[in-house]
């Protein structure tokens, strides 16, 4: 919806977009199928994910516009060559935990869950469309984004039940501690996630940072 709504300002028909973290690719393959003219170049560090993603993308008939490469986004995307791209999309790993030793280490987002998000904001893209979880220190994320010159142009938020990875006792306890310290919000068994457009593009007006934080219950 954000790509569609800001179609002309984000110029994705001309430039395409890059993606950090393909996963099984189903969510974005459906987006690519619904937006003719969108090209996504995606990267994932997990070889099994890349294999599954390629199969899912082929099954949806969008392999010509959604490509997946194995490797760390931050090593690959910049050195990939080609015309510069101004928009990155991502549902980044955002599980907060004291260390990477969790059920699925690829989903570890650092101690506060927002390491990958902060790295993305520092990577130099004018537009970052990314999922922000209410238990992964969104206050720090939004403050850092502001310091780097980004505004929250818009967002879509929904509530999610704790899944297998947030329910792991080590992760759940850590989330509770973070929320008690004011670094996030979670209910007994639920949290909020918003997909937000952070932009430095003057053609995209407005700043909904406060509304985003309120939607995340902060």
Ligand X SMILES: C[S@@+](CC[C@H](N)C(=O)[O-])C[C@H]1O[C@@H](n2cnc3c(N)ncnc32)[C@H](O)[C@@H]1O
1 close to 10: Cβ distance less than 8 angstroms: no
Sequence-distant (6+) residues with CB within 8 A of 196 are: 129, 130, 132, 152, 154, 155, 212
Judged by CB, which is closer to ligand X: 198, or 204?
198
CA 33 to chain centre: 19
Min dist. Cβ of residue 6 to ligand X (A): 20
Kindly list the residues in this chain that would bind ligand X in the complex (CB under 6 A): 20-23, 27, 43-46, 49, 72-74, 91, 93, 106-107
Min dist. Cβ of residue 154 to ligand X (A): 19
51 close to 44: Cβ distance less than 8 angstroms: no
HSE-CB of 158 using CA atoms within 13 angstroms:
5
Min dist. Cβ of residue 73 to ligand X (A): 4
Judged by CB, which is closer to ligand X: 45, or 139?
45
Judged by CB, which is closer to ligand X: 104, or 210?
104
Min dist. Cβ of residue 25 to ligand X (A): 7
Could you give the 3-state DSSP secondary structure of residue 82? Answer: coil
> What whole-number distance in Å separates Cα of residue 109 and Cα of residue 117?
8
Sequence-distant (6+) residues with CB within 8 A of 181 are: none
Judged by CB, which is closer to ligand X: 53, or 209?
53
Judged by CB, which is closer to ligand X: 129, or 152?
129
Min dist. Cβ of residue 206 to ligand X (A): 26
């Amino acid at each position: 919806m954000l790509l569609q709504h800001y179609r002309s300002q984000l110029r994705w028909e001309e430039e395409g977009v890059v993606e950090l973290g393909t996963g099984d690719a189903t969510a974005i393959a459906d987006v690519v199928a619904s937006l003719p003219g969108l090209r996504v170049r995606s990267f994932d560090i997990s070889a099994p994910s890349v294999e599954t993603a390629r199969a899912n993308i082929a099954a949806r008939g969008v392999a010509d516009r959604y490509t997946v490469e194995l490797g760390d986004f931050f090593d690959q995307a910049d050195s990939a060559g080609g015309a510069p791209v101004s928009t990155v999309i991502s549902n980044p790993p955002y599980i907060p935990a004291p260390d990477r030793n969790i059920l699925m280490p690829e989903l570890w987002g650092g101690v506060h869950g927002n390491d990958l998000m902060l790295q993305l904001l520092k990577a130099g893209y004018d537009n970052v469309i990314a999922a922000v979880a209410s238990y992964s220190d969104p206050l720090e994320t939004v403050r850092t984004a502001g310091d780097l010159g980004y505004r929250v142009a818009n967002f879509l938020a929904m509530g999610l039940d704790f899944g297998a990875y947030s329910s792991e006792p080590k992760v759940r306890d850590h989330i509770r501690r973070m929320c008690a310290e004011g670094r996030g919000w979670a209910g007994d068994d639920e949290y909020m996630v918003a997909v937000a457009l952070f932009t430095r593009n003057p053609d995209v007006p407005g700043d909904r940072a406060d509304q985003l934080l309120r939607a995340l219950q902060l």
